[in-house]
Amino acid sequence: MKKITDSQLQKLENFIGYGRKDAKTIFFGLEEAGGGIENLHIRLGIKNYELLDCRDFHLKHLGLNGDYNLHSYDPSNKVKFQPVWRYMSYLKLRIDGKMPNELFKNKSQALREYQNNYLGTLNKEGDTLLTEIYPIPCRNMNSWIDDKNTPKEERIIPQYKSKKEYQETVLPKRQKLFSDLFNSEDFQADTIICYGKSKWDEFKKFFNEFDIDWKELNLDKPTQKGYLNENIQIYLIPFLGNGQVSYKYLDRLVEKITL
């Protein structure tokens, strides 16, 4: 398999996410799942890679079809829920004033349509940005593109000898990338949601240069809140899936966000 060059690696590391720079709501994860060598080469083949449309990436670029039913170019299709995207859609629609009974009627069609048509979209109707601290997708948090015992001359990403070295090296680059975004004229966010309780230390490390004063909130799940640049709410919450959150908890969180 063809090795990743320095310029290609820079392209991968400068990926911002799915959606728009001027999104009002940003969802921050630690690392995108579902990576692999073939996935990376597909990404490298995309001309304008800094920002992607979530639906287009999965349907057009990855060419997912057949059993793939999380997106559809039919805007009213009853797509299947991806658990994390479902909770993101619920949170965003509740922040925007939609009531739970509206979102759950007709087998939660409003949530399905938001996941399919608006979550992480580049379209002007889009109002979310889905991003990660670490930009290169991997199978899981413990895996890396190359096996740790692979000789350097055989590595797909020879610039790094391990995932640990990659994370330590790319972190300041990502901090600079997002600092530039946060201070740009494009940036319009009023809420940033960082999800994954076991990785809160990673998020705090990432935002360390912004001197955020984190405060514990009185909710039924561990939750902390701070402010970025004095007026942008930023939250640390549990992972959006795997039974870590409930709609009741998200409703309470929305009350805090929309005060």
- Asked if 143 and 254 sit in the same domain, the reply is no
Residue 12 lies in a domain: yes
Which two tokens mark 109? 């069609």
- Answer yes or no: is pLDDT of 112 > 90: yes
Which range of residues forms the domain containing residue 232? Answer: 190-258
Q: For position 181, what pLDDT does the model report?
A: 98
Q: What is the dihedral of CA 233, 86, 59, 11, to 10 degrees?
A: 30
Q: Which of these, 126, 163, 120, lies nearest to 29 by C-alpha position?
A: 120
Place of tokens 């940005």: 129
Last residue of a domain, one of 188, 209, 238: 188
Alpha-carbon distance 78 to 89, whole Å? 14
Alpha-carbon distance 106 to 81, whole Å? 14
The backbone region for 222, taken as left when phi is positive above 0, alpha when psi lies in -120 to 50, beta otherwise, is beta
Residue 158: pLDDT band (50, 70, 90) is: very high
Higher pLDDT, 151 or 226: 226
Place of tokens 């402010």: 227
Last residue of a domain, one of 188, 208, 223: 188
Q: Which of 60-64, 228-232, 249-253 has the highest mean pLDDT?
A: 249-253
- Answer yes or no: is pLDDT of 77 > 80: yes
Mean pLDDT value across residues 88-100: 98
Mean pLDDT value across residues 174-189: 97
Q: For position 2, what pLDDT does the model report?
A: 83
Q: For position 147, what pLDDT does the model report?
A: 87
- Asked if 205 and 141 sit in the same domain, the reply is no
Contacts of 32 (CB under 8 A, 6+ apart): 132, 137, 138
The two beta strands, 128-138 and 25-33, are parallel
Alpha-carbon distance 171 to 161, whole Å? 16
Total domains, the chain:
2
- Asked if 178 and 203 sit in the same domain, the reply is no
- Asked if 56 and 126 sit in the same domain, the reply is yes
Which two tokens mark 241? 């899936």
- Answer yes or no: is pLDDT of 100 > 80: yes
Residue 236 lies in a domain: yes
- Asked if 163 and 205 sit in the same domain, the reply is no
Q: For position 63, what pLDDT does the model report?
A: 81
Q: For position 120, what pLDDT does the model report?
A: 99
Residue 1 lies in a domain: no
Contact 254, 98 (CB under 8 A): no
Over residues 189-225, the pLDDT tens digits come to 999 999 999 999 999 999 999 999 999 999 999 999 9
- Asked if 37 and 110 sit in the same domain, the reply is yes
Contact 157, 42 (CB under 8 A): no
- Asked if 92 and 125 sit in the same domain, the reply is yes
Q: For position 1, what pLDDT does the model report?
A: 62
Q: For position 102, what pLDDT does the model report?
A: 97
- Asked if 202 and 131 sit in the same domain, the reply is no
